A and B are shown apart, each in its own frame.
Chain A
Amino acid sequence: KQEVTQIPAALSVPEGENLVLNCSFTDSAIYNLQWFRQDPGKGLTSLLLIQSSQREQTSGRLNASLDKSSGRSTLYIAASQPGDSATYLCAVRRGGGSARQLTFGSGTQLTVLP
């Protein structure tokens, strides 16, 4: 059974800092990995999706990397802003078969202090 772990559970940084959020998964036979952010009382917003054949994806100040063999992904946020404060979730979709559901980590709650 796939298990997804995110460390740290919570992180507080001053505005302007670069930061890294970590995600690890136990079964490397994944189809893709997706990073989301969730604001309080809201649904999830997709940030980046990395296919299993890719090593990284970039969108603006966000960069996500994937090392499938070691079961790890990182989300790098450059020049953090208070508006980046949210919970960040990673999720993996397993490879093969007809199953399409994602397995989620418990998230990292990020607070960027002005």
Chain B
Amino acid sequence: GAGVSQSPSNKVTEKGKDVELRCDPISGHTALYWYRQSLGQGLEFLIYFQGNSAPDKSGLPSDRFSAERTGESVSTLTIQRTQQEDSAVYLCASSFGVRGNSPLHFGNGTRLTVT
């Protein structure tokens, strides 16, 4: 596809369940980012991938959060034992190149609601 694709677009889950969010970056983009946007808050950085390695995991809020990436393709963000405070929109972005001077392209996000 032409843009970053995220699935599902909406996810409602019960507290304590695990969820998996998926991101398909733009083809050829080597860098991939996960952000979280809570109601009324700015975007919070979670993790960044260069290829399939994650040089920066500094934003993951707890050990319940993990992410993987297959090569320079799909990434999954997994949240274990979800809590109500995990409710947010999870945004994925990708960019081309390693020098950091190319713009980020975002997907439409996954809206997660933990009940």
- Using a CB–CB cutoff of 8 Å, the interface residues on chain A facing chain B are 4, 31-32, 34, 36, 41-46, 49, 51, 89, 91, 93, 98-107
Contacts and interface: CB of A to CB of B under 8 A. Distances in A.
Interface of B: 4, 6, 31, 33, 35, 41-43, 45, 48, 50, 55-56, 59, 91, 93, 100-109
Select the residue from A32, A93, A102, A103 with max chain B CB neighbours within 10 A.
A102
Please report whether the interface of chain A is mostly helix, strand, loop or mixed according to DSSP. strand
B55 A101 contact: no
Contact of B45 (A41, A49, A89, A103): A103
B108 A49 contact: no
Nearest to A95: B100
Given A32-B101, A98-B55, A43 B4 contact: yes
Given A43-B108, A89-B43, A106-B41, A101 B59 contact: yes
Given A34-B104, A43-B6, A102-B43, 15 more contacts: A42-B108, A42-B109, A43-B4, A43-B93, A43-B106, A44-B104, A44-B106, A99-B48, A100-B48, A101-B56, A102-B33, A102-B104, A103-B45, A104-B43, A107-B42
